[in-house]
Structure 1
Amino acid sequence: MKTDSGGRPARTPLSRERVLRAALAVADTGGLESLTIRSLAHELGAKPMSVYYHVANKSEIIDGIVDLVFSEIELPAPDGDWHAGMRRRAASARSVLRRHPWAIPLLQTRTKPGPATLRHHDAVIGSLRSAGFSVAMTAHAFALIDSYVFGFALSESVLPINGPETVTEVATSMIPAGFPDLYPHLIEFTTEHILKPGYDFGAEFDFGLTIILDALSGLAPHGAEGLSGS
């Protein structure tokens, strides 16, 4: 361990990368509303003015940590099976957004995208173009897939049900007691599906993604490739 002249552990110098990583940690712990220059400086063990040496303002910090989130998402190979690549990329995005739920509404709002964001978009577009989709169909496919993935991630982040272990408690508390005749379809759906052992809302992700990718496969020039068995 390095020490300073007084024998104390030497501080790791601040850098833009270290500042953004600390900002990411603050946002993950307390949400984006908890991220301030003061909270960031506290996380770094530094003075607020030291932070400003590496980032101009909070907007620049948000741009930076959104780019870090994009950097964690697996990218499809430019010359690989687009169907399998998009499935992996979608699953990876969902997993990343479960770690960083605060980022969901920000992924498509930043007007100063970083290199990881640009690389991500370029790879997705390149994969779809290599599959033979026209530029217009690539736009349709990209929008459709991301609307589904980001929308599902948002649903998961706000649902009161957090995994199979909370299903029974939450589902039963939401059904009005003493009025089964008023909501027969809801009662049937809840008792015969939601309350079945092992129910997990997250399992719906693969079902919906398969439908979307298989539908897009039928529209691709190489349409027989990559149906749901691949």
Structure 2
Amino acid sequence: MTQLAEAARRVPLNRDRVLRAAITLADQVGIESLSMRRLALELGVVPMALYKHVANKEELLGGMVDTIVGEIDPPVPDAPWKSAVRFRVLSARQVLLRHSWARPVIETRTNVTPAVLGYMDGFAGMFLAGGFSADLTHHVMHAMGSRMWGFTQEVFDDTAGRDENQRPEVTPEVRAAMAQQMAERYPNLLSIAGAAAHDDGSVVGSGCDDQFEFEFALDLLLDGFERLHQEKWTSGADGYRGL
């Protein structure tokens, strides 16, 4: 046994250490491979020792989310609402890019923890501090959806849950045949596919520049919110009727 492992065993086990070890393990092996037994092995303890600090796997996952929420930069004091929101969303995005397992965990949480509620409260607070009405802020939060966490379900996202190393190799001949089929069956999609710069390493969609697309949509939303705020828009008794 290495000296590092022996030293780790001597560090008293507590909830924070368990959660941070779980995050590190998930970063390394993926959330699917994270188990209480494997985590215990990494910490050099028996699995039952973990249950003194987390009741079950669900509580472990919730605690992991709470911990990485703490990595998101806090709101910038006295900043204009639009730049404050943009800064915080992009900070959240960087956190989720560091912890790629976090997106599906956040999406599937059934119990909203105080840390998550605190983040959402602070997020709404940036709009309210910018002079938005409670009514408009309510609809803004719906419109932002998961984007407030730095991710969104993209229209061309065909990579979710797929291991980068498991993607099949595509030869030039196969790619050409696929392009021909696209031209015949889906001419409109083909025409827009080549209309912008592409990034082969994208996590949004095949070849799309995911960071650009995310910021583009975020800025569209923020500009729209600003226009509604300036026009003192309200939802009205009959629901949304447009402008």
1:176 is matched with which residue?
Answer: 178
Cα gap change, 1:125/1:219 in structure 2, threshold over 3 Å: closer, same or farther? Answer: same
Do the aligned partners of 2:199 and 2:209 also contact (CA within 8 Å) in 1? no
Aligned partner of 2:238 in structure 1 is none
Task: Show the counterpart of 2:224.
Answer: 215
Matches within 5 A, 1:93-108: 93-107=92-106
Structure 2 CA distance for partners of 1:153 and 1:29, relative to 1, 3 Å? farther
Q: How many correspondences in the alignment?
A: 210
1:150 and 2:159 equivalent?
A: no
Which residue of 1 is the match for residue 215 of structure 2? 206
Matches within 5 A, 1:1-230: 9=7, 11-77=10-76, 79-107=78-106, 109-114=109-114, 116-148=115-147, 149-152=150-153, 155=157, 158=160, 173=175, 176=178, 178-179=180-181, 180-193=183-196, 200-221=209-230
Q: Is the 8 A contact 2:22 2:39 kept in 1?
A: yes
Offset at residue 191 of structure 1 (A): 4.4
- Residue 34 of structure 1: CA displacement? 1.7
Structure-1-length-normalised TM-score: 0.74
List, as ranges, runs of 4+ consecutive aligned residues in structure 1 with deviation greater than 6 Å: 195-199
Shift of 1:152: 4.9
- Using CA pairs under 8 Å that are at least 6 residues apart, name the structure with larger relative contact order, 1 or 2: 1
Conservation of the 8 A alpha-carbon contact between 2:72 and 2:95:
yes
Partners in 1 of 2:74 and 2:54 — Cα distance?
A: 28
Deviations 1:104-156 (A, max 9, x none): 23336342404x32331221121111112222211211222234443158949
Native 8 Å contact 2:65 2:106 kept in 1: yes
Q: Which amino acid aligns with 1:206?
A: E
Whole-angstrom distance in 1 between the partners of 2:79 and 2:13: 40
Relative to 1, partners in 2 of residues 1:195 and 1:83: Cα closer, same or farther, differing over 3 Å? closer
Aligned residue identity for 1:214: D
3-state DSSP of counterpart to 1:219: helix
Question: Partner of 1:176: helix, strand, or coil?
Answer: helix
**Conserved? CA contact 1:78–1:123, under 8 Å:** no
* Structure 2 CA distance for partners of 1:169 and 1:204, relative to 1, 3 Å: farther
Q: CA deviation at 1:102?
A: 2.3
Aligned AA for 2:111?
T
Q: TM-score, normalised by structure 2?
A: 0.71
Unaligned runs of 5+ in 2: 165-169, 201-206, 233-243
The one-character-per-residue Cα deviations of 1:150-206 (angstroms, maximum 9, x if unpaired) are 31589496297x8xxxxx979x73852654444444444344546699973332122
How far apart, in 2, do the equivalents of 1:87 and 1:119 lie?
18
Does the 8 A contact of 1:131 with 1:222 survive in 2?
A: no
Secondary structure (helix, strand or coil) at the match of 2:151 reads helix
Q: Once the 2 structures are TM-superposed, how far is the Cα of residue 68 of structure 1 from its aligned partner?
A: 1.1
- Whichever residue aligns with residue 82 of structure 1, its letter is W
What secondary structure sits across from 2:11 in the alignment?
coil
Counterparts in 2 of 1:57 and 1:93: CA distance versus 1, 3 Å: same
Q: Which moved more, 1:32-41 or 1:149-158?
A: 149-158
Q: Shift of the alpha carbon at 1:71? A: 1.2
The Cα shift of 1:209 comes to 1.0
- Contact 1:78/1:126, CA 8 A, preserved across alignment: no
Relative distance call for 1:169 and 1:11 in structure 2 (3 A) is: farther
Tell me how far apart the structure 2 counterparts of residues 169 and 159 of structure 1 sit (CA, whole Å).
23
Letter in 2 for 1:99: R
Question: Structure 1 222/19 Cα, relative in aligned 2: closer, same or farther at 3 Å?
Answer: farther
Verify the 8 A CA contact 1:77 1:127 in the aligned structure 2.
Answer: no
- What CA distance in whole angstroms lies between the structure 2 residues aligned with 1:107 and 1:92? 16
- Check 1:174–1:31 CA distance in 2 against 1; reply closer, same or farther (3 A cut): farther
